[in-house]
């Protein structure tokens, strides 16, 4: 690509193209600019499906006839679901490595570049080229894919297009409410930790949530499980997460967050069939010391993976949130050592058909996986054990502690490429 003024001209053109376009056209504008500069035959954006098991090709076309099998259409928008099959696209996304594919029958070279921001795998940039790409071209595609990640993050605040593209199945009202309670990114890489979370919803939503927020010297996290199913459960979860976030943002301690949320559920949740309560595990990690404080409100015990061994952390369990006014809560501090992994789950990972799984063994077997991939692998095990139909939501959060707060990440295009820190 053309270089001038400290390598900033290509980036400036890409950003200008994104800003000049409507939010629904911003990604297409960036990919069009890249295709023009590289003389590409085609450029596509493949967004990660919300299932975590497919990519979706988003295109804007006026359909002359019926859509192809498997396509979803909304006016002139088309979404084609590409299920993971172990091929190059899945490998690129999971490994966070660019894949360069030679022509099959003497036509085009294809470059597949992960679109990633702080470890959050947003999708892939797919570009077809008339000749073998040089290392400089591959590097340019990788950098553009990283820029595209920020364009997607900024643009999707203003439109439903990207969310629509990611939904391979329709959402119920309770699922819609639950989706809004989750953080915008399920993965966060920092110098001293890596965090990833995942939720497998039941057919009738069970009200599970996870949340996290990074401060300058602290990481806040929570996993909650509202009782019941459907809209009532989602409304209980809304009160629970809303209160936890509000008190956290007011600077409240974990104990204050638990006590205030308990009273909020009692005050406002009495109309939910008389069952407006939730279990919760609240955490606050001091990034300077590695001390992880927990408040356990009737929740299942988390797991600690350390030095090749996995064990349940038997934290003192207080009453769930929203059962009795004036309930007292207690905190427990777990000092983390460099290389530790914490796995927090909801009971959907453990009960009924999933009870046959040796979860401790599987946490140990997936220890070398990035938390982003470990969450998917563990969720897949539960789904397989349940025959593909979950009786209850299954949520989990995986936290790796690297230590050395303030140390920089070793990144390429939004992903940490440093050696495994287990």
What's the rounded Cα separation, in Å, for the pair 183 and 212?
A: 7
Using the 8-state DSSP alphabet, how is residue 275 labeled?
A: -
Going edge to edge, which strands form the sheet with 278-286? 208-214, 218-226, 278-286, 291-297, 331-335
- 406 in any annotated domain: yes
> Same domain, yes or no, for 95 and 110?
yes
Structure confidence at residue 276 (pLDDT): 84
Least confident of 98-107, 232-241, 254-263, 366-375: 98-107
Note whether residue 102 is domain-resident. Answer: yes
In a domain, 4, yes or no: no
Enclosing H/E stretch for 291: strand 291-297
Residues 177 and 130 in one domain: no
- 87 with 188, same domain? no
Q: How far apart (Å, rounded) are the C-alpha atoms in residues 272 and 268?
A: 9
- Residue 286: domain span: 173-416
The percent of residues above 70 in pLDDT, for the chain, comes to 90
The CATH number assigned to the domain holding 195 equals 3.60.40.10
Same-domain status, 30 and 155 = yes
Question: For residue 80, is pLDDT > 60?
Answer: yes
DSSP sequence for 100-137: EE--SSSS-EEEEEEEEETTEEEEEEEEEESSPPPHHH
Residue 422 lies in a domain: no
Q: What is the pLDDT of residue 406?
A: 79
| pLDDT value of position 75 | 67
161 and 32 assigned to the same domain: yes
Contact call for residues 275 and 227 (beta carbons, < 8 A): yes
pLDDT recorded at residue 270: 58
Report the CATH number at residue 152. Answer: 3.30.450.40
User: What's the domain count of the chain?
Assistant: 2
Same domain, 390 and 270: yes
Cβ contact 108:130 at 8 Å: yes
Query: Final residue of a domain: which of 147, 166, 185?
Result: 166
**In terms of domains, do 111 and 180 share one?**
no
Q: Please give the pLDDT value at position 1.
A: 37
- Residue 329: how many CB atoms within 10 A of its CB? 21
Helix/strand/coil for 259: helix
Q: In this structure, is residue 2 part of a structural domain?
A: no
- Whether 47 maps to a domain, the answer reads yes
Could you read off the pLDDT of 304-342 as tens digits, one per residue?
Answer: 999 999 999 989 999 999 999 999 999 999 999 999 999
379 φ, ψ (degrees, to nearest 5): -65, -40
CA distance 30 to 129: 17
Give a yes or no: residue 194 inside a domain: yes
Residue 8 has pLDDT above 70, yes or no: no
State which of 105, 139, 166 marks the end of a domain: 166
Mean pLDDT computed over every residue of the chain:
89
Rounded CA separation 316/330 (Å): 8
CA distance 218 to 285: 5
Q: Do 189 and 58 lie in a common domain? A: no
CA atoms of 265 and 321, how far apart (whole Å): 7
pLDDT at 64: 42
Same domain, 356 and 226: yes
Q: Per the domain annotation, does 252 fall within a domain?
A: yes
Contact status, residue 329 vs residue 320, Cβ threshold 8 Å: no
Last residue of a domain, one of 104, 134, 166: 166
The pLDDT value recorded for residue 180 is 94
Whether residues 140 and 180 fall in one domain? no
Residue pLDDT, tens place only, 189-213:
998 999 999 999 887 888 999 999 9
Residue 397 DSSP code:
E
Give exposure, 256-265, as e/b (b: 16+ Cβ within 10 Å).
ebbbbbbbbb
**Shortest CA distance to 119 belongs to which of 217, 195, 54?**
195
141 and 203 within one domain: no
| pLDDT score of 65 | 47
Per-residue pLDDT, 340:
98
pLDDT at 105: 64
What three-state secondary structure class fits 55?
A: strand
Which has the minimum average pLDDT: 39-43, 151-155, 258-262, 387-391?
387-391
DSSP 318: B
* CA–CA distance, 144 with 105 (Å, rounded to integer): 28
Asked if the model's pLDDT at residue 183 lies above 70, the reply is yes
- Give pLDDT, residue 77: 80
Tell the residue number behind the tokens 């909304």, with chain if given: 74
Distance CA(361)–CA(203), nearest Å, equals 27
**pLDDT tens per residue, range 48-66:** 999 899 999 987 654 444 4
Asked if residue 350 lies in contact with residue 300, where contact means CB atoms within 8 angstroms, the answer is: yes
Judgement on whether residues 249 and 179 belong to the same structural domain of the protein:
yes
């Amino acid at each position: 690509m053309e270089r001038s003024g400290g390598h900033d001209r290509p980036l400036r053109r890409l950003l200008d193209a994104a800003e000049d376009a409507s939010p629904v056209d911003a990604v297409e504008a960036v990919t069009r600019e890249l295709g023009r500069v590289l003389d590409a035959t085609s450029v596509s954006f493949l967004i990660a499906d919300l299932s975590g098991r497919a990519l979706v090709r988003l295109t804007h076309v006026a359909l002359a006839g019926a859509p192809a099998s498997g396509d979803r259409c909304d006016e002139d928008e088309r979404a084609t679901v590409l299920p993971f099959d172990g091929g190059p696209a899945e490998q690129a996304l999971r490994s966070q490595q660019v894949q360069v594919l030679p022509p099959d029958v003497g036509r085009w070279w294809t470059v597949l570049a992960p679109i990633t921001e702080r470890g959050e795998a947003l999708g892939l940039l797919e570009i077809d080229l008339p000749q073998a790409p040089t290392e400089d071209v591959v590097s340019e595609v990788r950098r553009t894919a990283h820029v595209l990640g920020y364009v997607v993050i900024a643009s999707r605040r203003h439109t439903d297009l990207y969310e629509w593209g990611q939904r391979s199945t329709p959402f119920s009202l309770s699922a819609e409410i639950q989706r809004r309670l989750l953080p915008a990114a399920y993965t966060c890489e920092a110098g001293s930790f890596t965090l990833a979370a995942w939720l497998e919803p039941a057919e009738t939503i069970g009200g599970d949530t996870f949340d996290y927020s990074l401060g300058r010297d602290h990481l806040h996290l929570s996993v909650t499980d509202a009782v019941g199913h459907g809209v009532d459960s989602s409304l209980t979860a809304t009160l629970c997460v809303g209160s936890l976030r509000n008190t956290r943002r007011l600077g409240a301690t974990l104990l204050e967050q638990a006590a205030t949320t308990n009273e909020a559920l009692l005050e406002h949740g009495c109309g939910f069939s008389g069952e407006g309560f939730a279990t919760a595990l609240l955490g606050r990690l001091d990034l300077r010391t590695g001390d992880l404080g927990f408040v356990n409100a009737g929740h299942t015990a988390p797991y600690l993976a350390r030095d090749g061994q996995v064990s349940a952390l038997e934290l003192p369990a207080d009453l769930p949130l929203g059962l009795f006014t004036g309930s007292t809560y207690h905190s427990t501090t777990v000092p983390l050592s460099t290389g530790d992994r914490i796995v927090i789950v909801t009971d959907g990972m453990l009960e009924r058909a999933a009870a046959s799984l040796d979860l401790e063994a599987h946490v140990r077997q997936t220890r070398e996986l990035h938390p982003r991939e470990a969450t998917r692998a563990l969720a897949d095990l539960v789904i397989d054990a349940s025959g593909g139909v979950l009786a209850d939501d299954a949520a989990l959060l995986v936290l790796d502690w690297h230590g050395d707060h303030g140390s920089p990440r070793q990144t390429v295009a939004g992903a940490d490429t440093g050696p495994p820190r287990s």
